[in-house]
Amino acid sequence: MEKWIMIVNPVSASATTGDAWKQAVDMLNGSGLEVVTSPTTHAGHAIELAREAAGLGYRKFIAAGGDGTVHEVMTGLLRYADAEGADLGDFTLAVLPYGTGNDWIRTPGVPSDIKEAAECIVRGKTGKEDIVRLTFSDGVYCMANIGGVGLDAAICYNTNTLKKKGYKGSFLYSLVAPYSIFTRKRHPVRIDCDGETVYSGKLFTAVIGNGVYRGGGLKQTLEGGKWDDGLVEVSIQGNVNHFKGLSQMMHIFKGDFAVLPGIISRRFRKMTLTPLGKTADRVESDGEIPGTLPLTVEVTGQQINIIVP
């Protein structure tokens, strides 16, 4: 019998997931799989649970929650691999999307319907995803899908702050984005891609993509990138004023933000972001704020197996 461990975030989707995931467990167990469940109780708990489960010999994981849960599970597996010299190619990750935006699933095409996503796990078809390491001064994380610095991180931080105060709903992004654009101060950074300085100066935002989609299906990085091609994409919006910044940002709804005049877009294997002033910008990864600059983003060369339709 195929043995899986499901790490589930009961408070995903603005705390509406509750016990809904138990129906998926019953379906998976009824289909011949053996699924052990491990619910999280606090932020960062999925990192600990994934690392512990890997140490116990589990190699097939289900992340039941939103993009933040996927981020934490993959971070736990990366930290286990770093500590034990393990090959992440021996691991398989499936996702049951109980989040609000559920952007991770859009790149491989995993269904948003839980029953259909569970059926994908039963069928067992797999693809590959590059492991992207985020290295901060105080720790290492895995970027499962997308990340960002500057405005991107400010929007994420402000949205999460409201969620912690009890506000719910996908409309939060539309409220927080304009506020963040007109209140955020721009700080100077230097951005190097594969050893070349591609930008130096005050930064409006830099959006980073291993996957393609963010913000509920929006695109801000180059078309054509795949998360198994050994490269990551970045689109840099430099020292523009608030009004021009807003005007350019509106192009995310058209999907051509990355190719606008003035936007610096690159594909890279290793990128460093170094603060040049007294204030270090926050960094966002998969809807979470794991740290502040300086930051190194690097494709490790390892890939994890992912369940696909």
At 208, list the tokens.
């980073």
**Residue 225 and residue 211: Cα distance in Å, rounded?**
8
**Residue 153 and residue 120: Cα distance in Å, rounded?**
33
Q: Considering all CA atoms of the chain, what is the largest pairwise distance in Å, rounded to the nearest integer?
A: 59
Residue with tokens 């912690």: 164
Per DSSP, 24 falls in state H
**Residue 291 and residue 304: Cα distance in Å, rounded?**
24
**Residue 89 and residue 129: Cα distance in Å, rounded?**
10
Nearest CA among 299, 286, 285 for reference residue 228: 299
Nearest CA among 191, 217, 206 for reference residue 285: 206
Neighbouring residues of 215: CB distance < 8 A, sequence distance ≥ 6: 101, 103, 173, 252
**Residue 171 and residue 237: Cα distance in Å, rounded?**
24
Nearest CA among 271, 85, 101 for reference residue 174: 101
Asked if 227 contacts 110 with a C-beta cutoff of 8 angstroms, the reply is no
The single-letter code of the amino acid at 3 is: K
The single-letter code of the amino acid at 39 is: P
**Residue 191 and residue 196: Cα distance in Å, rounded?**
8
Q: Rounded to two decimals, what is the model's pTM?
A: 0.94
Nearest CA among 64, 52, 72 for reference residue 94: 64
**Residue 233 and residue 264: Cα distance in Å, rounded?**
11
Asked if 114 contacts 105 with a C-beta cutoff of 8 angstroms, the reply is no
The single-letter code of the amino acid at 134 is: L
Judge if the upstream peptide bond of residue 294 is cis by omega within 30 degrees of 0. Answer: yes
Tens-level pLDDT at each residue, the chain (309 residues): 679 999 999 876 554 555 778 889 999 999 999 999 999 999 999 999 999 999 999 999 999 999 999 999 999 999 999 999 999 999 999 999 988 789 999 999 999 999 999 999 999 999 999 999 999 999 999 999 999 999 999 999 998 888 788 777 666 777 788 888 888 889 999 999 999 999 999 999 999 999 988 888 888 898 777 889 999 999 999 999 888 988 998 888 888 999 999 999 999 999 999 999 999 999 999 999 999 999 999 999 999 999 999
